[in-house]
């Protein structure tokens, strides 16, 4: 059932239904994720994001109080999306633990290829430009990387328990090293428009794991 719009909408706010408001906000988030994985935050213009979803510029501040608040929402949304992706691969009990990591890598490579290497990692992109970003972003970005590392460490610990990795290996340190190297490989793959940096890093990391 439709609800009548308020008779005194805020300045710049188009008269919308409550459900349409939620839909428009979601469209803005999705468009923001697309732009930030391509360009980063500093280069992402609000006009471009609004144009992708055909929303008037005056309406943006109805959905988000500021560009900073919008950026924090995008970090949170991307972190949640990527954690789900990691779990779908690293938690796949049908595969041996190291094969799960290889599955994630293959999926990530395919994802970059699908967009002709124009999109990278939103969290990695923002980390590279942190000096020009709101300081509020730092804690969210660090927490996201720590979360990904913990999920990866759990997979490596499973590999360790199954004898795929040596018992003395520090799985947490290995997971940290993986994400430091992987983000660099993603950046290089985007720069070169090639999967070669991703494949090279994956081979280096997997072959360098201490074996039982």
> Chunked in runs of 10, what are the mean pLDDT values of the chain (212 residues)?
39 42 86 87 80 84 90 95 97 98 98 94 91 92 97 98 98 98 96 97 98 88
Determine the pLDDT at residue 14. Answer: 39
Determine the pLDDT at residue 43. Answer: 72
| Domain ranges, ordered by start, for the chain | 18-207
Determine the pLDDT at residue 38. Answer: 87
Domain 18-207: CATH superfamily is Tetracycline Repressor, domain 2 (1.10.357.10)
Closest CA to 91 of 150, 7, 138: 150
Determine the pLDDT at residue 148. Answer: 98
Closest CA to 52 of 78, 24, 73: 24
* Burial of residue 152 (number of CB atoms within 10 Å: 0-12, 13-18, 19+): buried
Helices (H) and strands (E) in the chain, counts: 9, 0
Q: Which two tokens stand for residue 97?
A: 């633990």
Q: What is the C-alpha to C-alpha distance for residues 174 and 191, in angstroms, rounded to an integer?
A: 26
Q: Which two tokens stand for residue 156?
A: 């490596």
Please state the pTM of the whole predicted model.
0.84
Q: What is the C-alpha to C-alpha distance for residues 131 and 31, in angstroms, rounded to an integer?
A: 24
DSSP 25-77: HHHHHHHHHHHHHHH-STT--HHHHHHHHT--GGGHHHH-S-HHHHHHHHHHH
Q: Which two tokens stand for residue 15?
A: 């008269």
* Burial of residue 172 (number of CB atoms within 10 Å: 0-12, 13-18, 19+): middle
Contact 160, 151 (CB under 8 A): no
To the nearest 5 percent, what fractions of the chain are helix, strand and coil?
70, 0, 30
Determine the pLDDT at residue 54. Answer: 87
């Amino acid at each position: 059932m439709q609800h009548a719009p308020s008779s005194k909408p805020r300045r710049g706010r188009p008269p919308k239904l409550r459900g349409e408001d939620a839909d428009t906000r979601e469209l803005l988030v999705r468009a923001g994720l697309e732009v930030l994985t391509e360009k980063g935050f500093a280069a992402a213009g609000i006009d471009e994001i609004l144009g992708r979803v055909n929303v008037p510029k005056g309406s943006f501040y109805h959905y988000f109080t500021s560009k900073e608040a919008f950026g924090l929402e995008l970090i949170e949304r991307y972190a949640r999306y990527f954690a789900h992706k990691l779990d779908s691969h690293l938690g796949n009990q049908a595969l041996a633990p190291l094969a799960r990591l290889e599955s994630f890598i293959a999926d990530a490579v395919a994802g970059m290829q699908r967009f002709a290497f124009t999109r990278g990692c939103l969290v990695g992109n923002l980390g590279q430009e942190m000096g020009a970003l709101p300081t509020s972003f730092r804690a969210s970005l660090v927490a996201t990387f720590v979360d990904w590392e913990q999920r990866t460490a759990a997979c490596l610990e499973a590999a360790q328990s199954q004898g795929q990795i040596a018992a003395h290996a520090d799985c947490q340190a290995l997971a940290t090293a993986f994400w430091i190297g992987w983000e660099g490989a993603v950046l290089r793959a985007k720069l070169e428009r090639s999967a070669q940096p991703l494949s090279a890093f994956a081979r280096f990391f997997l072959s360098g794991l201490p074996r039982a």
